[in-house]
Chain A
């Protein structure tokens, strides 16, 4: 756990960071984001004291580290920066081994650790360990940067725009991979970025910072997107808030309905006729023998015999699964013939349908939740500070 207490950094009259208090819970990734010059990098660099605070305290796992030996402190904190900052004159293996060597690990242990880490970040140590950084692509260098920071298994990591210098596709890749690594390792991480989408994707919590590292809002991405605390945050989040919010929620979080009329290919003709007679909806869902959704059929056409159950018709393009985002669900509804999107289980069997109304309700409740939270925060703070 990291706790920053009334942290201030002044450069002459300029207050780069002004009285910042922030707690990063153990095992969580907290993103610092804000306009350039807001002091987010300065804040990050005060945690490992590359920038010495003018006043205030830094606590690491409950211990005040504001005055301890700086080199010893830094060896316990993983550090990743933009453009990797790899040592160009050292091989990949030597780069990764930096901190273990500073800590005077045994040779064998260091070698094993290096191989383990290269594998973790998806690099083959046989082909990469003896290479030099400039022989690697930008994305690969960045992976080495992450491996190097993890080398001595530090409980805490600082990442300063770690994927900022890579192209969008590589960046997405690196983000996904880091999310996977973090879900295994559960480090306590402070992560600086200026990319709001990256913040939403990576952060367990996001601190949106204004000038002087003033915290405009500090909350989970879900809450921030559902209920931005003020105009500054709203402006910072940009357009399409709701869509970003829908990206974070999963299909499993909302209710699916099994009330849509459906027919199976192996249904008896009598059953089919009976069902058709009672359908009031314009469309009926056709399932195959394994109960997998196959297509939408027009009820009237089936009744009149101009369409037959066994006709291939137009198959359903996409079905939703539990882990799909609500944004994907929305997209599916927009293009679906019937206005509903079909949800299947892991084996592809029909589970139900979600409607636009369900989505609408979900969004409203997210917002209400988040607002409740804000009111509580306000009450706790004893004023309307967070909602200026």
Chain B
């Protein structure tokens, strides 16, 4: 074999890899936060330039915005965490021999959860919870919102896990078993690392979905940035609706960005 050309090929590949990991991605990585920052600044300047009445001042102030944002993130991140903690193990179990027949069933279930309105599910859960003794409207609202969002965002992570594990090269798995790895070792050392990129893509999709849709949590009294939109609608103040909209879109984009950063660092080298 022509070893000089092989070396050149390797070097080419190595450079391509280097640029994908370094130079090329950095501009992309800083673009999103910059755009979000600019949008927030513009919105702030725009609102600042308006004649603000007593209502706006009461509804749009820094401490209230901070509290709503934290509530929003609390619901969205808790829901994502629950999804990750349940959908990934479920996906792993379903891809083990003997369980595969249940994949269709689980996927249909997750599909239904995503297709039916998360809002409806939320209200139903809320009504169930509020009737149980010792519950407060706020606590029940938060729980209902988190569970509703979790059901809604379950599918992308489940599907990502299933696809990620299924696309691992069968020859590679055969080699792993043939060399004497136990089923658990094959899963931990070979299947999961090789499935990580696709699994993470699922988690990222699910995270963005949750962050963007958690606005409806306001409707069951769980707070969040959806409250601003409702406030604006009820008091007929466009500025407040715009503020709620920009803030929600902003953190959704930032969530996507954070997902991209995590993907970049968790993706195994050599792939």
| Interface residues of A, Cβ cutoff 8 Å to B | 45, 48, 50, 71-76, 79, 81-91, 98-99, 102, 131-137, 139-140, 148-149, 158, 169-170, 173
The B1-39 residues at the A interface (CB cut-off 8 A) are 1, 6, 9-10, 13-14
Interface string of B167-195 (1 = CB under 8 A from A): 00101101111111110010001100110
B135 to chain A, nearest CB (A): 47
Near A by CB (< 8 A), chain B positions 142-183 give 169, 171-172, 174-182
Q: With A72-B180, A74-B180, A102-B181 in contact, is A83–B13 under 8 Å at CB? A: no
A81 with B180, Cβ < 8 A, contacts A134-B270, A137-B1 known:
no
Closest-CB distance, A177 to chain B (whole angstroms): 12
Asked if B271 CB lies within 8 Å of chain A CBs, one says yes
Which residues does chain A contribute within 8 Å of B193, judged by CB atoms? 89
A72-B180, A75-B179, A87-B189 given. 9 additional CB < 8 A pairs?
A48-B178, A73-B180, A74-B178, A87-B172, A88-B270, A99-B179, A102-B185, A134-B13, A139-B1
- Which residues does chain A contribute within 8 Å of B179, judged by CB atoms? 74-75, 79, 98-99, 102, 148-149
Tell me if A50 and B178 are in contact (CB < 8 A): yes
Chain A residues near B181 (CB, 8 Å)?
71, 98, 102
A149 neighbours in B (Cβ, 8 Å)? 179
Contact in complex: A136, B10 (CB < 8 Å): yes
* B109 touches A (CB below 8 Å): no
The 4 closest A-B pairs by CB, nearest first: A85-B175, A132-B270, A74-B180, A75-B180
Q: Would you give 19 A-B contacts (Cβ < 8 Å), ordered by A? A: A45-B178, A73-B180, A74-B177, A85-B171, A85-B172, A88-B194, A88-B271, A89-B193, A89-B270, A91-B270, A98-B181, A102-B180, A132-B269, A135-B13, A135-B14, A137-B6, A139-B1, A149-B179, A173-B1
Asked if A89 contacts B175 (CB within 8 A), the reply is no
Q: A82-B171, A136-B10 are in contact. Are A89 and B1 (CB under 8 A)?
A: no
- Rounded to whole angstroms, the CA-CA distance of A91 and B10 in the bound complex is 14
Does A81 lie within 8 Å of B177, measured CB to CB?
no
**B contact residues around A85 at 8 Å (CB):** 169, 171-172, 174-176, 178
Tell me the smallest distance from the CB of B21 to a CB of chain A, in Å: 13
Distance, CA A132 to CA B271, complexed state (A): 8
Asked whether any CB of chain A lies closer than 8 Å to the CB of B268, the reply is: yes
Judging by beta carbons under 8 Å apart, are B190 and A87 in contact?
yes
Expressed in whole angstroms, the minimum distance between the Cβ of A167 and any Cβ of chain B is: 8
CA distance A382 to B35 in the complex (A): 87
Q: Are B6 and A79 in contact (CB under 8 A)?
A: no
Complex CA–CA separation, A48 to B161 (angstroms): 30
Report the separation of the CA atoms of residues A131 and B194 in the bound assembly, to the nearest whole angstrom. 17
Supposing A135-B13, A135-B14 touch, asked if A87 and B185 sit within 8 A by C-beta, the answer is no
The residue on A at minimum CB distance from B267 is A89
8 A Cβ contacts from B85-107 to A: none
On whether the beta carbons of A50 and B177 are closer than 8 Å, the reply is: yes
Report if A79-B270 is in contact (Cβ < 8 Å); known contacts: A85-B172, A88-B172, A137-B6.
no
**Given A87-B190, A89-B194: A135 and B178 within 8 A (CB)?**
no
Q: Whose C-beta in chain B lies nearest to the C-beta of A148?
A: B179
- Greatest chain A CB density within 10 A among B172, B175, B177 is at B175
The residues of B that contact A135 with a CB separation of less than 8 Å are 10, 13-14
Residue of A nearest to B190 (CB): A87
Contact residue among B185, B268, B270 (Cβ-Cβ distance under 8 Å from A133): B270
Question: Which of B174, B176, B270 has the most chain A CB atoms closer than 10 A to its own CB?
Answer: B270
Nearest CB in chain B: distance from A113 CB, A? 15
Report the minimum CB–CB distance from A118 to chain B (whole Å).
16
Most A CB contacts (10 A, CB to CB) among B6, B178, B269 go to B178
State the CA gap A87–B179 with chains docked (Å).
12
Query: With the chains together, A177 CA to B173 CA distance in Å?
Result: 27
B-chain residues with CB within 8 Å of residue A81 when the two chains form the complex: 171, 174-175, 178
Chain B positions within 8 Å of A137 at CB level: 1, 6, 9
Measured CB to CB, the nearest residue on chain A to B17 is A135
Contact of B1 among A72, A76, A170 (CB under 8 A): A170
Closest to B185 in A: A102
CB of A140 to closest CB in B, whole Å: 8
A71 with B182, Cβ < 8 A, contacts A85-B174, A85-B175, A137-B6 known: yes
Minimum C-beta distance from B26 to chain A (A): 22
Chain B residues, Cβ within 8 Å of A89: 193-194, 268-271
Expressed in whole angstroms, the Cα–Cα distance for A89 and B1 within the complex equals 25
Expressed in whole angstroms, the Cα–Cα distance for A360 and B194 within the complex equals 59
Give the residue name and chain of the A residue nearest to B194 (CB): A89
Contacts of A76 in B (CB 8 A): 180
What distance in Å separates the Cβ of A80 from its nearest Cβ neighbour in chain B?
A: 9
Report the bound CA distance from A170 to B6 in whole Å.
13
Q: Are A83 and B171 in contact (CB under 8 A)?
A: yes
Instruction: Considering the complex, give the chain A residue whose CB is closest to the CB of B181.
Output: A102
Chain A residues with Cβ under 8 A from B189's Cβ? Answer: 87
Alpha-carbon separation in the docked complex, A83 to B171 (Å): 8
* Cross-chain contact B269 with A87 (CB below 8 angstroms): no
Which residues of the other chain, B, contact A72 by a CB distance below 8 angstroms?
Answer: 180
Expressed in whole angstroms, the Cα–Cα distance for A139 and B51 within the complex equals 74
Complex formed: what's the CA distance from A89 to B13 in Å?
15
Provide the bound-state CA to CA distance between A89 and B267, in Å: 9
